[in-house]
Amino acid sequence: MTSDPERVLQSLDLTSLGDNDTECTVDDLCRRALDDAGGRVAAVCVWPGLVSRAAHYLDRTGLRIAGVANFPDGGTDAVPALKDIEVILESGGDEVDVVLPYTEFLYGERKVVVDFLKYCRRACHGGTVLKVILETGVLEDAEMIADASRLALGEGADFIKTSTGKAAVSATLPAAEIMLHAIRDAGHGGFKAAGGIRDVPTAMTYFSLADEILGDGWATPNHFRIGASGLLDDILRRQSGSASETSQIAGY
């Protein structure tokens, strides 16, 4: 049976989206993904302009690369968002995390949001995974989160994601529950929790919720991700502790 830290590790989108990130930042992120995590994370996630650096570092390793688009403000102008997507894909990215124009969604401008998502889905051709960030901490209202989830899934989102991690409120279990029910009802789609998840027990509450709603075995990297950076430290600390305990039991 897979341990909790290992299960979290395998679904981790190891992320760095700091305002001052550089190529050196990405090099360190990729090194951690390969050396510290043994290449077992689901993906690394960086700014569009740094995807090429990640692709160079991770060349032929099989690790997936995600880039963010329309991030973090979620504007309605599709042109810069599509430019972000173009840069991500041309630079060797495999996945796009795009921010839903959540302010317009709140104000009832559904057509603007639908058109925006259609453009993004069309730009993410081939096997590109499209994750749509709902910014649930801003949407707040349960029915609004449910509506946004249904809309994104209906417009071709491969994953719906809780948050950018830049708003005052990030991932929460109530929002996750609503989103997971929307995925179950739609019969397709994956889920990603992001923002404020810093330890394995917190991450496992999201796995447990997914197991309850969508069944044991659903929450694999193909359907379930955790977006975080510091979480890797706790995973490795717990794995190291388990290894030490095993060695002591074995008499080493």
**Which tens digits make up the pLDDT trace of 189-248?**
999 999 999 999 999 999 999 999 999 999 999 999 999 999 999 999 999 986 444 434
Read off the DSSP letter of residue 119. H
Strand partners, 96: 67, 130
pLDDT of 75: 97
Alpha helices for 91-172 (secondary structure H): 102-106, 110-123, 136-139, 142-154
Six-digit token string for 213: 């709603």
**13, 131, 158, 192: the active-site residue:** 192
| CATH (residue range 4-250) | 3.20.20.70
Mean pLDDT of the chain: 95
Sketch the domain layout of the chain as residue ranges: 4-250
Q: Which amino acid is at 132?
A: V
H or E element at residue 15: strand 12-15
Residues 113-150: pLDDT tens digits? 999 999 999 999 888 999 999 999 999 999 999 999 99
User: What is the DSSP-derived secondary structure letter of residue 77?
Assistant: -
Confidence of residue 152 (pLDDT cuts 50, 70, 90): very high
In the annotation, is 131 catalytic?
Answer: no
Active site residue 77: no
Check 13, 84, 161, 234 and give the catalytic one.
161
User: Which is the catalytic residue, given 13, 97, 158, 234?
Assistant: 97
Can 27 be counted among the known catalytic residues? Answer: no
Residue 1: the pLDDT is 63
Percent of residues, the chain, with pLDDT higher than 70: 95
Q: pTM of the full predicted structure?
A: 0.95
Q: What is the pLDDT of residues 233-252, one digit of tens each?
A: 999 999 998 644 443 434 44
